[in-house]
Copies of this chain bind each other. A is one copy, B any other.
Amino acid sequence: MKTGVIFGKFFPLHTGHIHFINMASSLVDKLYIFVGVDSDRDQILFNDSKLRAFPTPQDRLRWVAKTFQKQDTIEAHILDESGIPFYPNGWAGWSDRVKEKFKEFDINPDIVFSSELDDIENYQKYFGLPTKIIDATRSFVHISATDIRQHPFRNWDYIPNEVKPFFVRTVAILGGESSGKSILVNKLAHVFNTTSAWEYGRDYVYQELGGTEEALQYSDYPKIALEHHKFIEYAVRHANRIAFLDTDFLTTQAFCIQYEGRKNPVLDTLINEFQFDKVILLDNNTPWVDDGMRSLGTPQKRRDFQNLLIDLLDEYNIEYTVIDDKSYEDRYLAAIDIVQKLLND
């Protein structure tokens, strides 16, 4: 049985890495992948990047583990490289760390796979292992992790499906009834050719209440929110760079306050726990359209509900952008403008 080892930062994993790992795994019976993490170095890489959040060691490990999950000859682990001095002085300390891991997981490698010609000598010196150089010139997949950190959206096709959700930007569109938010979410999702999470409240009334809003009660609000969370997860998982969300948990809280006279603690926690990259609040200055659902149709009621949304946004410290154009055309163009800025890297 032949055993190989690969070391990498996978910050983030990209399809170039995948080709590399595919090649390596074709040549051995068992392949170990070590995801190297170094808190200081990784923080610098992050600060220099356009990433929306810091990818933890666990994030990077799961990207690799999920992608190769069905190939049971491949096994991945985290390798903590923190505190080791930089090249060329670090090889001794680094090889000690690696050997500890080999011992911990009972690994007896026969070969190291690398794309760096310079590593050959050191793997021989510190591990007594031969190195096989793969795709050193990146002939098939032309991409680097640096490229992706700098321009994730321009290099979207090189970000593996299991990694994409980490990079997706979420845009929640809020507004009272008849603010046109559902139609706007549809327009944006279609023109940006991506997913959206529609307002689950309407589905809930259909699926769980037999279609009659008269049957809605306090205990339904957390259930609506939990299911809405699933829709959001689905939208993010299948998104093309950006996912549009029709309402958020805060709007559900607003409806709960409006109809039941009190907040719901589940909604409270979800609002705090799951935040979105951009929140757009639509002003309620478009004409009222009756959709047959429970009605907030008088001008005063619409204003009150809008104020409730604004109060909640402030209370939960959520930043938002208002779109208050009066024509649907201008609202659509204003939203496109906001999204393009978000995607511009």
Interface string of A147-185 (1 = CB under 8 A from B): 000000000011111000000000000000000001100
In the complex where A160-B193, A193-B160 touch, is A216 in contact with B58 (Cβ < 8 A)? yes
B69 near A329 with CB under 8 A, answer no
Closest partner residue, chain B, to A220 (CB atom): B58
CA distance A162 to B193 in the complex (A): 9
B69 near A332 with CB under 8 A, answer no
Interface status of A118 (Cβ within 8 A of chain B): no
Q: Whole-angstrom distance from the CB of A107 to the nearest CB of chain B?
A: 15
Interface status of A138 (Cβ within 8 A of chain B): no
B329 near A65 with CB under 8 A, answer no
B22 near A58 with CB under 8 A, answer no
Q: Whole-angstrom distance from the CB of A187 to the nearest CB of chain B?
A: 4
Total identical chains: 4
In the complex where A226-B229, A266-B273 touch, is A209 in contact with B22 (Cβ < 8 A)? no
CA distance A182 to B69 in the complex (A): 12
Residues of chain B with a CB closer than 8 A to A222's CB? 273
Q: Whole-angstrom distance from the CB of A66 to the nearest CB of chain B?
A: 4
CA distance A21 to B140 in the complex (A): 39
Interface status of A298 (Cβ within 8 A of chain B): no
Interface status of A120 (Cβ within 8 A of chain B): no
Closest partner residue, chain B, to A27 (CB atom): B329
B65 near A191 with CB under 8 A, answer no
Q: Which chain A residues in 306-333 approach chain B with CB under 8 Å?
A: 327-329, 331-332
Among A3-11, A70-78, A82-90, which stretch is in contact with chain B? A70-78
B58 near A217 with CB under 8 A, answer yes
The tally of residues in A whose CB lies under 8 Å from a CB in B reads 69
Residues of chain B with a CB closer than 8 A to A77's CB? 212, 214
Q: Which chain A residues in 8-47 approach chain B with CB under 8 Å?
A: 15, 18-19, 22-23, 25-27
Q: Whole-angstrom distance from the CB of A28 to the nearest CB of chain B?
A: 10
CA distance A332 to B238 in the complex (A): 27
Contact of A215 among B65, B159, B210 (CB under 8 A): B65
Residues of chain B with a CB closer than 8 A to A198's CB? 70
Residues of chain B with a CB closer than 8 A to A268's CB? 269
In the complex where A15-B191, A70-B186, A217-B56 touch, is A332 in contact with B160 (Cβ < 8 A)? no
Residue from A26, A56, A215 having most chain B Cβ neighbours under 10 A: A215
Interface status of A297 (Cβ within 8 A of chain B): no
A interface with B by C-beta (< 8 Å): 15, 18-19, 22-23, 25-27, 56, 58-59, 61-62, 64-71, 76-78, 140-141, 157-161, 182-183, 186-187, 190-191, 193-195, 198, 208-212, 214-217, 222, 226, 229-230, 238, 240, 265-266, 268-270, 272-273, 327-329, 331-332, 336
Known: A157-B193, A160-B190. 20 other contacts (CB 8 A): A15-B190, A18-B190, A23-B332, A26-B332, A27-B329, A58-B216, A59-B215, A59-B217, A61-B212, A61-B215, A65-B209, A69-B211, A70-B186, A71-B187, A77-B212, A158-B193, A161-B193, A226-B230, A230-B230, A265-B272
